[in-house]
Amino acid sequence: MTPIEFLAAFREARASAILRTDRQDLARLAMDAAVRGGFRVCEFTLTVPGAMELVREFSQRPGLIVGAGTVLTREEARAAVQAGARFLVSPVVDEAVIQEAEKLGVASMPGCATPTEMLRAFRAGAQLQKLFPAPANGPVWVTQSLAPLPFLRIVPTAGVTIENAPGYLKAGAFAVGFVGSLFDPADITAGRFDAIEKRARAMLAALA
C-alpha cells in the first residue's frame, strides 16, 4: 500500500483505533474488539509490550490497515515497516523519522501542537499531521489553522471522544483517532471486551 492509497483508505474510514496499554496479554483481545466493532485502521503504539508482533499479526488480516505509533527512531521505523506497518505515527516532529518513512514507502504522521509545527512536518514530507496534544477548543483550533493552511491533513487524537469527533470532522479534520475513549483501561483490565466492541460501533456510527 502506497502513502496515496493509505490516504484514500484513511479518508474513507474517517477514524483509527489507537491502542496504548501495558497489558501485553490483553492487547490483542482489546484490538480484536475494536475490529469487531468496525474499525479497519488500527494503530499499536510501540509502548505496548510486544507491539511489533501485534503489528505483524494484525497486518496479515484481510481488510485491516495497521500502523505503529510512538515511533521515535529510524530503527523503530524500519522494524515497524518490516513487521507490516503501513503508516508510522510519532508524538513529535522528527525529520529523521519522516524521512525514513518516505524512504520505506509508507505514510508518516508526526505529532504537532502548533500550526508552525504542522507546517514544519508538512515541509519535511509528512502526509498527515497529528494534532497532539489536542487543545481544549479543538474543532475551533482546526478550523482556524486550516484557514491559512488548507493543504494540511490534520488528525486529532488525544482527547477525541464520541461527543467531539463529529465536530472535528465538520471543522475540516482529515480523520480522527480514538485512544482512551475507545480503549478504556478499566475495561481492558477487567476483560470487558464487549464494552469496547459496543463503543467502537457507536463511535463509527456517530461519524457516518
Task: Please identify every residue annotated as catalytic.
Answer: 43, 130
Residue 175's φ and ψ, nearest 5 degrees, are -165, 180
Residue 69's φ and ψ, nearest 5 degrees, are -110, 170
Sequence-separated (6 or more) residues with CB below 8 Å from residue 58: 31, 35, 42, 44, 64, 66, 84
SS3 state of residue 154: strand
Residue 36's φ and ψ, nearest 5 degrees, are -60, -30
Residues in the chain: 208
Cell numbers representing residue 98 in the block: 519522516
Helices in 14-150 by DSSP H: which ranges? 24-36, 51-59, 74-83, 95-104, 115-124, 138-146
